[in-house]
Amino acid sequence: MRLLALILLVGAAAAVPRENGKIIGGQECEPHSRPWMASLNYGYHFCGAVLINEQWVLSVAHCWYNPYAMQIMLGEHNLRVFEGTEQLMKTQNIIWHPSYDYQTLDYDMMLIKLFHPVEITDYVKPIPLPTGCPYAGAPCSVSGWGNIATGEEVNMPARLQCLDVPILEDEKCEMAYPGMLTRRMVCAGYMDGGRDVCNGDSGSGLVCLGEVHGLVSWGQGCAVPGHPGVYAERHDARHDVTTRYRPIAKPENPFSNCLLDLSVIITSK
């Protein structure tokens, strides 16, 4: 699974975590067409996340916030209107990836356990974790509630925005961010700019072929030509995060190195 990870390099252009803002060049999503989409908030939306089963959501570690104050909203489309489909959840526990590096944002992911399971409805449903990695050019999409303006303008949409993005070849990704990528990162988007995710979309899912293959984490600027969004993908080893996690047996297929470290069955105890 490809999750975006931030890297700060001395003497090099710094990638910027995407905490407060935008899908650029997209459009309003069909209402409730992304039932796995979650909003992390503490009075206002600040990051995205994806529901992966009835009691766990997946986001990026740099979106961490005090679990006693952070809430998770699911079943949402318009943040400013009560639609009767929402489920507001409190946080019980947050687990960072054990290899997370806050300076580089390598392994930039965290699991959030909800205080109680969600009710599965047409508006709140988990999305499958990846069974393999998508090929370059694969059609993917990303969604978020960030700023839809460019430059210094601010236009925060109330309604969920969507953007279709293709997976880019590793060579193009390396050309865009020379020396700044790890084996767990991949680019998705457009080299000519104009369409991109940005601050505030962090944690939102990169969805390809009906599975979540990444989480928004970083990029140099927003919708800047030559600098597409970066997502993390290759997590080479699965691990037992806590006693409440049981790893899925590693599949014997050529895509196994592309699967998310945290592709786990989360068991309740």
**Residues designated catalytic:** 62, 106, 202
- In contact, 198 and 219? CB cutoff 8 Å: yes
- In contact, 32 and 75? CB cutoff 8 Å: yes
Beta strands 37-41 and 45-53 are: antiparallel
How open is the CA angle 232-263-200, to the nearest 5 degrees? Answer: 45
Strand partners, 47: 40
Report the candidate in 165, 174, 176, 186 with the shortest Cα–Cα distance to residue 231. Answer: 186
- C-alpha distances (whole Å) from 128 to each of 77, 150, 205, 264 are 21, 33, 11, 11
Report the candidate in 140, 118, 122, 121 with the shortest Cα–Cα distance to residue 130. Answer: 140
